[in-house]
Amino acid sequence: MRWFIPLVIPAVLSGCAVFQQTESPVSPGTEAPTTRPEPRPEATATETVEVGAAGQTAEALDTTTAAERAEATAPSGGGSALGQTVASLGDPTEQGFWLKTPLVSSETEGRVEAASGASVNVTLIPIDGPGTAGSRISLAAMRALGLGLTDLPTVSVFKG
């Protein structure tokens, strides 16, 4: 036991140096320089925005044809209003014009209208949740509505 104490004491005391306060590199009365993050550029539906794990662009992921876009944006009007929902971008690799929403109980055809008045014909797909929950919209539908891919717009949903 006598040999143990001389070996342990230096090891314990050397560890105490780690806990000593060091002097601040900033003198009293001055502030340390602050590094601030750069703001993100605003993304819009017409810009090239990287999405997905592979960093693919929205244009590369949206493989809808001009004919499909024309059909989806053809004026249809009418239909019964189901309500409004906050829409976020759904799976960008899932093609087509669709809205996954708790506002419907079965898959049906419908229409989504943005605050700008732009509208797109979509397939309404039911998801679990209260009617006040948000919805997920396809990449093609977001682009057709002229919405930014990072936006959370409130859209009106119509059935039929």
pLDDT of residue 141: 93
pLDDT of residue 68: 74
Residue 72 is classified by DSSP as H
pLDDT of residue 145: 93
Q: Which CATH class is domain 63-159?
A: mainly beta
Two structure tokens written together for 54: 């592979």
| Per-residue pLDDT tens listing for the chain (160 residues) | 565 566 666 665 555 555 454 455 555 566 666 666 666 555 444 444 455 555 566 666 666 777 777 777 777 767 899 999 999 999 988 999 999 999 999 999 999 999 999 999 999 999 998 888 899 999 999 989 999 888 899 999 999 8
pLDDT of residue 81: 92
> Do the beta carbons of residue 159 and residue 110 sit within 8 Å?
yes
pLDDT of residue 127: 94
Query: Whole-structure pTM over 0.85, yes or no?
Result: no
pLDDT of residue 160: 84
Distance, in Å, from the CA atom of 53 to the CA atom of 55, rounded to the nearest integer, reads 5
Two structure tokens written together for 136: 């997920």
Cα–Cα–Cα angle for 141, 121, 42, rounded to 5 degrees? 25
Those residues whose C-beta lies under 8 Å from the C-beta of residue 91, and which sit 6 or more positions away, are: 136
